[in-house]
Structure formats: C-alpha cells, structure tokens
Structure 1
C-alpha cells in the first residue's frame, strides 16, 4: 500500500470510530454503532499491517493474539456492574501499548542515527526504513513526541 491509500484508510477508520461513539448514546443505534467500531478497527489494523513501513509479521501476529487473549481474560472476569473497572483495565493496556511504541521508536531512531553517522550502508526495513527518509526537522519532532 502506498501512503495516500493508508492515510485514506486511517481517515475512514477515524470517521467510523466517531460514528461508533456517537451511536452508543442511544439503545436504538447501539447495535449499528458497535459494527461501525468493529469495521473501523479492522480497517485500521489492515492498513497498519499492509501499509508502508510494515514488517515483522510474526511479531505483529503474536502481539495481536496476546492483546486479544489478555482482553478476553479481563473481560470475562469483570461483571457488568464493574464496567468502569473494565474500561480502566483496557485503557491501561492501551497506555502500555503506547509505551512500547515509544520505546520501539527510540530504539529504531538510535539505530538509524548511528548508521547515518558512521556512514554504513545498512539496508533498513520497516519503521527504520521510513526513518531514513525523514528530514532532520521531522526527526527532531519525533524525538520530542517520544
């Protein structure tokens, strides 16, 4: 997939997420809203897995399976009256995923910077390959974000 198609898929997924949140406010529209959320998430996952800079398929599948298994166990243990705790538990997993993404970005950025500084012609794949095409301003912005 090229960047334009991936970006369009993310925009459509974001719109579906917004429609999903809006539809959850009423009982009549909740069933349709759930499907908006499911389709939006499926679209976002496919765009991420097949988009530019993708790679390391085995690790991606293992992480998706592990996240699904953890979510299943947590969701089965929480009663309907404990929904705030379930939401908090799921948000903590999202926060943990964000920490891992930031950690990966920091490691890859360091590896690319060392290779560029040393003048090696290492062939990068995945996120590191995307980083090699960034301008110094974009790399500085990524460091600030991380």
Structure 2
C-alpha cells in the first residue's frame, strides 16, 4: 500500500458515488454490499478524473459511504483525503494474471470557492462568466 500525493492534481467527479458491491464466489447469488470489516460502515465507490502534468485518468476510489458529501456530483471539483493505492492480481484466462491498482480514501472533500481561488483554479460566476 502506498500513499498517493494529491497536491498539484485536479480531481473532478466523473461518476457519482454508488454502493460498493461484491459478487458471490459462485457467481449465482446476487451481489451484496461491502462493509468495512473493522467499523462495519457501508462502503461506496466514486469515479474521479485526475488531471496532473497535462494528463488525465479516471480512477475508482473506495470510501466510506458517510464520507462522500452530497454535493459530489459529476463535474464538481473535489479532493480525496488520505488516498492510498494497493496493487492487486488475480488469475485470469489461459493462465494469465490480471493486475491493477485499487484506490481507497478516508473521505472526499468538496472544494469551496476560497480553496479554488487559492489554488489559482477559480471559475468566474454570474456576469463575469459571460464576458
């Protein structure tokens, strides 16, 4: 597990948070919601677009459901707090191994107008936007 540096990156909500679901091992039973094994809190998945160094990527982040603010709708600028990533691997088709990174955060914060202005990311409002 590695802590992910978020300073200098822009994060926008790509898809709103949804309950994190896990398929059953047998593949026949319905999917069930995932809960934190320590706190028993329901978990959610939110997709964010990360823009950094002239590149963009969409990442799915697992976060406690209660730690996703209601205003986190597509297009909203947010900051993942306590973001970490972990490598994973599973057996795949024809003896190959599927690999990737999973992301988890403590919470998602909405960026307010003062936070945007201090980061040089302020967007004009009202009549200023029409100029």
Higher helix share: 1
TM class by shorter-chain length?
under 0.3
TM-score (norm 1): 0.22
More strand by share: 2
Higher relative contact order (CA 8 A, sep 6+): 2
